[in-house]
């Protein structure tokens, strides 16, 4: 759970947002108690919880990827962690990218590679644990389903045969 602050007015410098904004922003939670408003800032998602969750999935390994750390299923990357460990890169499909960008604009942004959007950059300091876990699972499922897809055909299949 995040930090709890009692306030009667908005103070953006202290992390207190107006009620309307708090209801619209999924990474801020608000509790009403009698006539007072209690603001709860999101918990900081730590890289250790990301690592623990990713490694709990079936057949996942953690391996280096250049200067990054990566989580892989059967050798294929589905999440990378930059060296500063303040964000993660999750590789999800277009539909999941659009949905996450709409639901979590405060901590999700497109991840570009060669000018093409290939995943999402998740800023851990602003993210909610449930959203991060959900995105990791979606990336894992996307990678597993991609590997389980139809067999190659045509010229590529001919080249693969001995």
**Rounded-to-5 percentages of helix, strand, coil across the chain:** 35, 30, 35
pLDDT, residue 150, reads: 63
Q: Which CATH number fits domain 47-147: 2.30.30.100, 3.40.50.300, 3.50.50.60, 3.90.1150.30?
A: 3.90.1150.30
| % residues pLDDT > 70 (the chain) | 64
For the entire predicted model, the pTM comes to 0.67
Question: Residues 21-40: pLDDT tens digits?
Answer: 344 444 444 444 334 444 44
pLDDT, residue 146, reads: 81
Question: Does the pLDDT of residue 121 top 80, yes or no?
Answer: yes
Q: Which helix (H) or strand (E) holds 19?
A: helix 19-24
The answer to whether the beta carbons of residues 36 and 8 sit under 8 Å apart is yes
Write down the domain spans for the chain. Answer: 4-40, 47-147
Q: How far is CA 97 from CA 44, 105, 149, in A?
A: 22, 11, 20
Q: How confident is the model at residue 110 (pLDDT cuts 50, 70, 90)?
A: very high
The answer to whether the beta carbons of residues 120 and 104 sit under 8 Å apart is no
Q: How confident is the model at residue 139 (pLDDT cuts 50, 70, 90)?
A: very high
The answer to whether the beta carbons of residues 147 and 76 sit under 8 Å apart is yes
Q: Looking at 4-18, 49-63, 99-113, which range is the least confident one?
A: 4-18
Question: Does the pLDDT of residue 97 top 70, yes or no?
Answer: yes
């Amino acid at each position: 759970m995040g930090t709890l602050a009692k306030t009667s007015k908005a103070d953006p410098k202290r992390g207190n947002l107006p009620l309307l904004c708090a209801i619209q922003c999924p990474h801020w939670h608000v509790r009403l108690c009698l006539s007072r408003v209690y603001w709860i800032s999101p918990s900081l998602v730590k890289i250790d919880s990301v690592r623990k969750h990713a490694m709990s999935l079936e057949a996942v390994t953690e391996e280096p990827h250049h200067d990054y750390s990566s989580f892989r299923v059967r050798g294929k990357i589905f999440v990378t962690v930059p060296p500063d460990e303040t964000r993660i890169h999750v590789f999800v499909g277009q539909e999941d990218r659009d949905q996450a960008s709409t639901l979590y604009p405060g901590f999700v942004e497109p991840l570009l590679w060669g000018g093409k959007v290939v995943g999402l950059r998740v800023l851990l300091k602003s993210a909610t644990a449930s959203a991060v876990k959900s995105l990791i699972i979606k990336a894992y499922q996307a990678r597993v389903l991609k590997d389980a897809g139809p067999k190659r055909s045509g010229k590529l299949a001919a080249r693969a045969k001995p």
